[in-house]
Amino acid sequence: MPTAQPLRTGDPQRLGEYELSGRLGEGGQGTVFLGSRGGEAYAVKLLHGPVGDERAAFLREVELAKHVARFCTAQVIDAGFDEGRAYIVSEYVDGPSLHREVALTGPRRGGALERLAVSTATALAAIHRAGIVHRDFKPQNVLLGSDGPRVIDFGLARALDAAATVSGRGVGTPAYMAPEQITASAVAGAADVFSWGATMCFAANATAPFGQDSVAPVLHRILTAPPELGRLDGRLRTLVEACLDKDARNRPTSRDLLFELLGESAALPAEVLDSPPAHILRATPPLVPEQRSTSPEPRAPIAQPEATGTPGGYRLSGTREGGPPSGPSPVGPSTYGNAPLTSRRGWPRAVIAVCAALIVTAAVLLTALIPAMNQSQEVQPSRAAGPTVPPQSDPGKSRPSADRSSPPRSERTQERKPTSDPPVAHPVTVPVPPLTGLDRSAAAKALKQAGLVLGTVTQLDSPQKIGQVLGAEPAPGTAVARGSRVSLQVSAGLPVPAVTGLQLKAAEARLTGAGLAVGTVTRSCSDQPDGQVLATQPKAGSRAAGGTPVALTVARNGVTVPSVVGRSQEDGRAALAAAGFTVRSKGQVVDDESRVGTILSQTVQPGTCAEPGSAVVIVVGLAAQSGPDPNEPSETPTGQIPGE
């Protein structure tokens, strides 16, 4: 937040229990002061207009705001009234607004933009959860504190409604208002989601998606034009585009928006479902004594010691090396044979360990035996004759040893496999990312990040923006092997039809029938029939997005009248005659000798169209008469000038 400026004449020195020491800013809603109470700094916002009879509603709104979660928002502390004007006290955030920071340092990129999106969406979800609609979410209401972004002014919705009625001020900022706010429809949380999307566009591009010029054009574009998303790309671009949908019913809720940003809706990769997790496959089976190896890579246990309660390992008490539990053991009261209290307390843990061992064993057997079952059928006859025993050079290795250094069964099974038949490898699959709505370059980038390759790109006639992705094959969400090619269908826009030579009405009908709009109509003098289309912009045959206005130049039958004012009588008459007009002259006495013989005015305005042969009257300056008495009335000549 900017450094506080001194208080001005007429500013209050105190509001309630808060001593005011300076101004932090002023906007359309009110003035923000730096206040203090008990040595703590606060932001105190005094609204411009009174709330009238809505005091109770205002206070209820403030109570709701106090219950908004404090993460990512500036907490509302207190509220009150000063001579009928309401004020709200909130947490002081020492940092600039997003609007000011982008103006000074430029747009956000990469991780900084994603962190901003997640933080503000989190704040919006918290505000909506408290039953509040912000109604004025914009870059000026996002403060960049030292501990992250904070959303402010979320407790003013009801107060601003009342103040707007009394003072005539509107609620909301035009460049970030949702369509339903403009049309005075019912406003709900979806309006804040729209404003969030517009704010993210500003953060990424330093400009609002519908422009920031005069109010009327901005509101018109919000209601009718597609947003300009600029440098937004990837998943965030898709989300922002969904948030800026004209129909509030099509926008995500703030909660869904947050989940999408966090990736909660992403599908689990297929390779995770194809086999047990790696730490399970590496786990030491509970029925095998703990292997206290000095290797720097100890095996991961199935559970942590705090969960089992067995310090030092997960071996069942009373087990022999490599075997099941035996009878009484001289180890002590924790053995199976003697059944003291400690043993009775430990047997449920042993049952759990045995169950876990069975699950692990089944997983290992599946990973080892399923590839063997897929081997070719030639191996089966040799197995029917009897089990195949591999050559053994050492009799001591012909039988598995009970020593714990013997390899697991899965390893022995793999040793018996022929080296020419490796295990079947499951291909790594990835889901096709969401691509619809992205432009072609952004879609190619998303495919590359997902480990896929851009395939054939087919251009289709579509009213969507040129280059926007309409669909993909395989469809988004489909699991495919990593490195697969994904074909795209992109919009080629709509062709501008040829309307040159048509009358205006027919040309307008053809343009609207082609999915385009009629733009500016300019009249131009021509020898062509009146109302005939002479040219279009964009030109016929070019392509444009649906709804693009096409400017028309229409013929106006006639000849352009040249400008002759200020020229000599001879030059002016010659120019008009050359254009095909009939010239008539009138004289007017002038005091300035330099204007004598100069054309002072013409009856038909220059640049307009007039029929060839029509008359144009010019007024020429005449010198005052010097012969008669000045007091004698004289008649200004109005006839033709001698020499005509």
Residue 293: partners with Cβ closer than 8 Å, 6 or more residues away = none
Residue 87's DSSP bridge partners are 46, 80
Q: Average pLDDT, stretch 391-405?
A: 43
Taking 3-state DSSP, the helix, strand and coil percentages for the chain, each rounded to the nearest 5, stand at: 30, 20, 45
Q: Which residues of 3-29 are buried (b: 16+ CB within 10 A; e: fewer)?
A: ebeeeeeeebeebeebebeebbbeeeb
Q: How far apart are the C-alpha atoms of 199 and 203, rounded to whole Å?
A: 6
* pLDDT the model gives residue 67: 82
Q: Which two tokens stand for residue 632?
A: 């004698």
Give 133 or 55, the one with higher predicted confidence: 133
pLDDT of residue 49: 75
pLDDT of residue 173: 78
Structure tokens, 436: 């619809």
Mean pLDDT of 196-219: 93
Q: pLDDT, tens digit, for every residue of 512-542?
A: 888 899 999 988 888 788 889 989 999 998 9
Distance of CA 179 to the CA centre of its chain: 17
Proportion of the chain above pLDDT 90, given as a percent: 34
Q: How far apart are CA 79 and CA 58, in angstroms?
A: 9
- Does the domain at residues 430-492 carry the CATH identifier 3.30.10.20? yes
Name the residue with higher pLDDT: 338 or 235. Answer: 235
Q: What's the pLDDT at 293? A: 43
pLDDT of the residue at 623: 84
pLDDT one-digit tens code per residue, 184-202 = 788 899 999 999 999 999 9
Inter-residue contact 195 to 120 (CB < 8 Å) = no
The larger pLDDT score, comparing residue 437 to residue 391, is at: 437
Residues 6+ apart with CB under 8 A from 231: 107, 109, 204, 205
The answer to whether residues 550 and 537 touch, using CB atoms and an 8 Å cutoff, is yes
DSSP state for residue 249 in the 8-state scheme: G
Q: What is the dihedral of CA 327, 333, 338, 339, to 10 degrees?
A: -120
**Residue 331: predicted pLDDT:** 38
Fold: same for 430-492 and 561-623:
yes
pLDDT tops 90 at residue 175: yes
Categorize the per-residue pLDDT at 296 as very low, low, confident or very high, splitting at 50, 70 and 90.
very low
The confidence score (pLDDT) of residue 185 equals 80
Beta 76-82 vs 85-91: how paired, if at all?
antiparallel
Token pair listed for 610: 């007039």
Band (380; pLDDT cuts 50, 70, 90):
very low
Q: Yes or no: is domain 495-557 CATH 3.30.10.20?
A: yes
pLDDT for residue 366 is more than 90? no
- pLDDT (mean) for 123-143: 91
pLDDT for the residue 131: 84
Is CATH 3.30.70.2200 the classification given to domain 561-623? no
* Gyration radius of the chain over CA positions: 42
Model confidence at 403, pLDDT cuts 50, 70, 90, reads very low
Mean pLDDT, the chain, integer? 76
- Residue with the two structure tokens 């109509």: 521
Mean pLDDT score, 101-109: 92
Average pLDDT over residues 27-47: 89
Question: Comparing 105-109, 249-253, 376-380, 526-530, which segment has the lowest mean pLDDT?
Answer: 376-380
Whether the predicted pLDDT of 89 surpasses 70 = yes
pLDDT band of residue 214 (cuts 50, 70, 90) is: confident
Task: State the average pLDDT over residues 199-215.
Answer: 93
> Selecting from 1.10.510.10, 3.40.50.2300, 1.25.40.10, 3.30.540.10, what CATH number does the domain 14-262 have?
1.10.510.10
Q: Which residues are catalytic?
A: 136
> How many angstroms separate the CA atoms of 388 and 284, rounded?
30
Segment 577-632, tens digit of pLDDT: 988 889 999 888 888 888 888 999 998 888 888 888 889 999 998 887 655 544 44
pLDDT in tens, 466-496: 999 998 989 888 888 888 999 999 999 899 9
Name the band, by pLDDT with cuts 50, 70 and 90, for residue 68: confident
- Residue 11: which residues within 8 A CB-CB, separation 6 or more? 20, 23, 31, 33
Q: What is the pLDDT at residue 425?
A: 54
Query: In this structure, what token pair is assigned to residue 179?
Result: 């369509």
Domain boundaries, the chain: 14-262, 430-492, 495-557, 561-623
